[in-house]
Structure formats: C-alpha cells, structure tokens
Amino acid sequence: MKKNRATMADVAKVAGVSRQLVGFVFQGKSGFSPEAAARVHKAAQQLGYRPNLAAQSLRRDSTKIIGVVFDPRESSPLEIIQSLYKVAANLGYEVILSAIGDDRDEDEAIHELIGYRCEGLILIASRLAEAKLVGLATEIPFISIGRQLDVSIADSVSSDGAMGLGLVVDHLAVLGHSDIAYINATTMLDADSRLKGFVDSATRHKLNHRIIDVASDYTEESGAAAAQLLLASASLPTAVACSNDQQALGLISALRVAGISVPDQVSVVGYDDSRVARFSFMSLTTVHQDAVELAEIALNRLIERISKPTLAAQASLTSVSLVQRKSVVAKSL
C-alpha cells in the first residue's frame, strides 16, 4: 500500500490542530488565528501537501471543473487553451483537457469529461453532428468555440469572420487591388461567414473577384491546391485572401515553387494571426482574433448558463482587427 501522500489529517496532526481548521485555512475562509494558519502552512509545506482534487470534486456541491475538448491536430485551438487556463483560474474553476484524435472521437472525449463531473463543457472547433449537439445540450451545459451554432442548439463564440474579411477586402481595395480571389476551404468550420464577408465587401467595392473552392484534411494542402488552380487560370489575381493562415502558408509556398513572387506579383492575406503568420519568410498580413477575449466570453457565458440552465442560447462574435505585415503591397501599375 502506497497511500503515502499527505492528507489534511496528516497536516493537522503535525500542526497540532483539527482537520477542519486545515480545511478553513486552505479555503481561505475566516475563523482562525494567524498563528494557527502559519503552523498549518508550515506543516503543509513540510509534508508536501496538495489538496486531493478528486475528493474536493466529490464532496463539493459544485465540482468547479470545466471540461475542454480539443483536437491537437489543429493549431488554432492550442492558442485558446492557454487563455482558458488563465481565465478559468480567475473565475475559480479548474480545467480538464480531453483530446480527440484518430483513435478517439468526440463522444469518447466528452464522456470522459462527464465522468469527472464537469459542470460544463467547452468544445473547440467541434465537428459533432447537430443532432448529437442537441442531445448533449440536454445532458450538460456547453459552449462551442470556433463553430457558430444556431441559437436553437446551444451557445457559441466565434470570431467575426464576416467582419474580418470585410477588413481584408477594404485594405486590398485601398491599395488599389481590383482583381482579387478568395480561397474558400469548404470543409472548414465557420467557412460561410468568412466567404460571405469577402463577397459582400468585394461587391460593395465593385472589385473583380473570384472564389476558389478547395477541400482538404490538411489545411496547408488546400492552399497548395488553390495555388495550382490559380496558376492554371488565364491570369493571376493581384491579391488573394485565404480562409486561414495555414492555408496561406501552403498557397505562398506553392506559388514560390512555381516561381511567383509574394508579395511582388501576388499579395496574400491570412486569417487567425497564428504563429505561422509571424515567421520571417511569411510576414503575413492577417486578421487577428483575440484568444483571451474568446476564452473570457466562452467561460463567462458558460458559467452563467450553469447557474441558469433555462437561459436562451446566443451566438457571440468577438472583435477582429487587421494586422499588417509584409505579404501585401500596393498594386503595381
């Protein structure tokens, strides 16, 4: 038997107080003297005591745990996870991650989190069928990040893709580009709003524009495929807007392999402002979404829903901004 890790009782014994007092000290409640608290802290330190989170979760009225489902194969969720930890800690919640992958689907990841009695779930870039989401909503409060849901299903938060692509097209128009393209990753989540933002804005500016539809598991590959389509067309556009940064990486790489210079011959814009965009060989002008803002809205909304389950669902959009780097230049005459 190796139950050697210290418990509250061990700490209490060493500190010469009752077990309950140790609990009060660790919960930061009132009702103890500073001297006693000091003795408790010293004893805890000495024994290497850590509260048993399983026991806390079991005993508490609310477990104070939020479950997060994510796909490590995609890059955008990863930036959000960091923000979720930070924001959750401020709100007094623990976060438990559950990854999906080739051998582990979302159902399995969700069931594990329910096993830990999470009070609510955050699904990042979920591809779960709508019917399953509706069923899940009857089981546990959740919110979707990066996939906008109909308000009849559940809460969701996304960056404002329509506005983001509006900013992109505005920028291109100001720089004199009048023949532009949008690379539409058809299987990407929230693809529709980004596409709509592009089309609406291009139409408003009366720009000559085309849509290149591509579908691929690897997003970078979709960019490369789009590059081939563009190269095979009668003439290249002077600027290309992409669905996301990874796609832009594939597009730019494939164009350069073909001897096309970016940005001299073709300007390229991304979306997400992920780490890819900051590479020196990319220096990608892109739409920035604030991961902290996304995490804050998601968690606050989720916690609100946990306490008021009857709340009407809403689809929130976070603000976006254009980060100008060097992948876009004014149209050469």
| Interaction site with a copy of itself (CB under 8 A) | 1-3, 5, 48, 50-55, 57-58, 61-63, 72-73, 78-79, 81-82, 85-86, 94, 96-99, 101-104, 111-112, 114-117, 139, 218, 220-221, 224, 250, 253-254, 256-257, 275, 278-282
Considering CB distances under 5 to 8 angstroms, the limit depending on partner class, which of a copy of itself, DNA, none binds residue 221? a copy of itself
Considering CB distances under 5 to 8 angstroms, the limit depending on partner class, which of DNA, a copy of itself, none binds residue 85? a copy of itself
Joined tokens for residue 221 = 């590959």
Say how far residue 261 (Cα) sits from the centre of its chain: 32
- Identified binder of DNA from the candidate list 18, 300, 314, 316, rule CB under 7 A: 18
Q: Which residues contact 7 (CB under 8 A, 6 or more apart)?
A: 49, 52
Q: Which is nearer to DNA, 29 or 308 (CB)?
A: 29
Say if residues 148 and 156 touch (Cβ distance below 8 Å).
Answer: yes
In angstroms, rounded to a whole number, what is the distance separating the alpha carbons of residues 297 and 25? 32
Give the x-and-dash track for 31-60 against DNA (CB under 7 A).
Answer: xxx-xx------------x-xx--xx-xxx
Which one of the spans 29-37, 84-92, 270-278, 280-288 is the region binding DNA (CB under 7 A)? 29-37
CB of 135 to DNA, least distance (A): 21
Asked whether position 17 contacts DNA by CB under 7 A, the answer is: yes
Q: Taking the CA of residue 147 as centre, how many other CA atoms within 13 Å lie in the half-sphere pointing to its CB?
A: 20
Q: How many helices (H) and strands (E) does the chain have?
A: 13, 12
Say if residues 142 and 123 touch (Cβ distance below 8 Å).
Answer: yes
Q: Kindly state the helix (H) or strand (E) to which residue 106 belongs, with its residue range.
A: helix 106-115
DSSP 51: -
Q: Which is nearer to a copy of itself, 35 or 61 (CB)?
A: 61
Helices (H), 205-290: 219-232, 245-257, 275-278
- Residues of this chain that interact with DNA (CB under 7 A) are 3, 5, 7-9, 17-21, 23-24, 26-27, 30-33, 35-36, 49, 51-52, 55-56, 58-61
